[in-house]
Structure 1
Amino acid sequence: MAVKADKRKMQEKGEKASPVARGSTVMATLEFLSAEIGAAAAQRVLAGLSSDDRTQIAAVVATDEVPLALPSRLWRAVQAEIGERDPGWVERAGAFSIELRGVQSYGGILRKTTPAEFLTQQVSLFRLYYRGGDMVVVEQHNNRATLRLIGLESDERDQLFCRRQTGGLERALTLSGGKGARVRHVRCAVEGDAFCEWDVRWE
């Protein structure tokens, strides 16, 4: 409710609303932690957050809209806890989110006959998870495409966010019928490029 109220106030002032994420991004991260690193390590991650963040996280439900800053701070806390010994965790967390909550909530969007059908459908999977931007196809060929992130401009959008998208996209392509799906984050606004782009390929 707080996010919606803040959005109304900003609209009245003519300001741009800050990006938001679904509560499912937070919940899937917690479920990934429990499954992959265990309850004790998950508790250490939460202990690294502010009491305010812990309160919000404890109350969040999948359909909530929360500031993008909340899952971003959670991902940074996970990185601080396990990033050095497990550098690929964030891509796996993105894949885990799509495999678990994505299929549960958006199975009809994910399960297509081909990845091309998934990528070009009218409903944007990205916008079901995030508001304030979109991921669009800017180039398409047989068995490959280039996706570009439009909008979602925020200091909270960092490399962890981008890498999570990489893992999620790869799993989504597999679920939509792509064999040998491969995703590369080829341009990154966080690293100084004009925008973020992903090269996606499948067989």
Structure 2
Amino acid sequence: MDGGVHGGGILALLDALDNDPALRQALSYDLIGLGLRLGQAGTSTLSWRDVYIIVAQAPRDSAVVRHLAPEAREWGISEQLQASIVDLLAGISWQLGGGKGKRPEPIPRPGVDSADTTPAPAPSKKETAAADTSDPWDKDGTGGTFRGVATPLDELNEWLGWANTSDDTSQPTTPADIASRNERIVAAYTAGGVTYAQLATEFSVSASTIGRIVRAARTT
């Protein structure tokens, strides 16, 4: 704690109380909250050592700390962590936006020089490109977005059972017919000698559908 109270112990506290009326008032306020009075200091009810301990261990929201270290009362570990989280989210949002506009400034911390929280300069385009090529999900320069292979709409409809059979009466339409067809596909593939592509041609479906049916049968 500031004011020389910590360094000099009880004697420093007595000297500070004699020369700092505001400190005396702040300590009186804190003692009242504890059911004590400053006038009791030096008695069997409240020794000067007790007073010193109360001052030395005063919480951040106490009147003594507000007087001796006004900035310290504003920021504890919780506030520091919250500010760090806000700074981190602001930086992520800025990066996801392509780094456009001014880089977010960190939240000022009481008692910390602005230089200590100044963000690092934005990477150059060359550095950004080098970083992107090291990203396994950004080999095509799409910004780290994972892009799979789109499933054709007709295959998706077939998977969901929404296939339009008006133009293809060869495809089964009822659950029983579909199950029967799938059993024949699995049996043919299990017997060997045929590929997914050959079965796809025979049953008028895609090769990926044949693979899905075969894999599903293996897991049941």
TM range (shorter): under 0.3
The TM-score normalised by the length of structure 2 is 0.20
Q: Radius of gyration: which is bigger?
A: 2
The TM-score normalised by the length of structure 1 is 0.22
> Which structure has greater strand proportion?
1
Q: Which has the higher contact order (CA 8 A, sep 6+)?
A: 1
